[in-house]
Amino acid sequence: MNEPALWRRLLAELLGSAFLAAIVIGSGIAAQQLSPGNIGLELFENAAVTAAGLFAIILMFGPVSGGHFNPVVSFVDAGFGGLSWRDACAYLPAQVAGCVGGAVVANLMFSKAAVSISTHHRATSAHSFSEIVATLGLILVIFALARSGRSRAAPAAVGAYIGAAYFFTSSTSFANPAITVGRIFSNTFAGIAPSSAPSFVAAQIVGGVLAFVVIKSLYPGVTAAEASDIIFPHHERDTSEPAVASAVPGARPKSASADGASAHLSHQDQSSPPVA
């Protein structure tokens, strides 16, 4: 299987991250306008739209880049050998730029200033602890599915987990350094003040490190091949030379032409008279 070209994967991560930020921030603005003063309903609307939107954008861009949209996911993946460290470092600015761009798009769609720095302070010990838990759970969901061969279920599972974590964490589950930076640029329901962002990012990194350790303990057999297809399988199969599965366990598959040649030789051997 071949990896899509890096520029295509970076474009997918950029666009996917932009859509993610637009969904999170845009739905927060809409919730405030539709349900003014009812914070519980606003949060429910924000969570439901984010969960559904995340599911959709993973399906859109996952076949190209894997649908990470999150630096913690990319670097944990690199730790398991599913993504090279060089590519993980390249994903990072694409994800952050995409989230910042998505925040600008969301602001403009609701006739607000393109950039408005948030004044929503969230830096408390409870919020930081929540971000550790939220990020830990997100990474565990992703790699548990990959290890058990159920990566195709990841788009729905990731969306469901984030939607639920909006309510069971006091931080409303950012669980993503890129979206944390993006949400600085919108002084709306989903925004976060610049002074609060560093503690969120630090907590998310801690959550990612803990997740790596826990995954190593729970699933010690995670392979690079499994890690390479987390969230959404995105490798392109090389169809130029179709392979035929070998009947010998553990043997490498042979190409159709080679297998045909082997069969021809075998037939010749069977037709030859036995040697006394």
**Do 274 and 207 belong together in one domain?**
no
Task: Report DSSP letters for 100-160, one per residue.
Answer: HHHHHHHHHHTT--S---------SHHHHHHHHHHHHHHHHHHHHHHHTT-GGGHHHHHHH
Task: Tell whether 87 and 176 lie within a shared domain.
Answer: yes
How many residues are present in the chain?
Answer: 276
Could you tell me if 250 and 222 lie in one domain?
no
Q: pTM for the complete prediction?
A: 0.83
First to last CA, the chain: 48
Give 243's DSSP letter: E
Q: What element of type H or E holds 216?
A: helix 197-218
Q: Is residue 1 part of a domain?
A: no
194 found inside a domain = yes
* Domain tally, the chain: 2
Same domain, 149 and 251: no
**Domain with 17 in it: what CATH number?**
1.20.1080.10
132 and 260 part of one domain: no
Question: Are 56 and 15 in a shared domain?
Answer: yes
Nearest-CA neighbor of 229 among 157, 149, 161? 149
CA distances from 81 to 38, 88, 224 (A): 46, 11, 5
* pLDDT per residue as tens, the chain (276 positions): 578 899 999 999 999 999 999 999 999 999 999 999 999 999 999 999 999 999 999 999 999 999 999 999 999 999 999 999 999 999 999 999 999 999 999 999 999 999 999 999 999 999 999 999 999 999 999 999 988 888 889 999 999 999 999 999 999 999 999 999 999 999 999 999 999 999 999 999 999 999 999 999 999 888 898 888 888 776 654 444 444 444 444 444 444 333 443 333 344 444 444 443
In a domain, 214, yes or no: yes
Assess whether 39 and 122 both reside in one domain. yes
Task: For residue range 36-66, list pLDDT tens digits in order.
Answer: 999 999 999 999 999 999 999 999 999 999 9
Whether residues 269 and 211 share a domain: the answer is: no
In a domain, 262, yes or no: yes
Residue 235 lies in a domain: no
Domain identity same for 175 and 196? yes
Range of the domain at 75: 6-228
Specify if 233 maps to a domain.
no
Instruction: Based on the fold, state whether residues 112 and 248 are members of the same structural domain.
Output: no
207 and 264 in a single domain? The answer is no
Do 270 and 203 have their domain in common? no
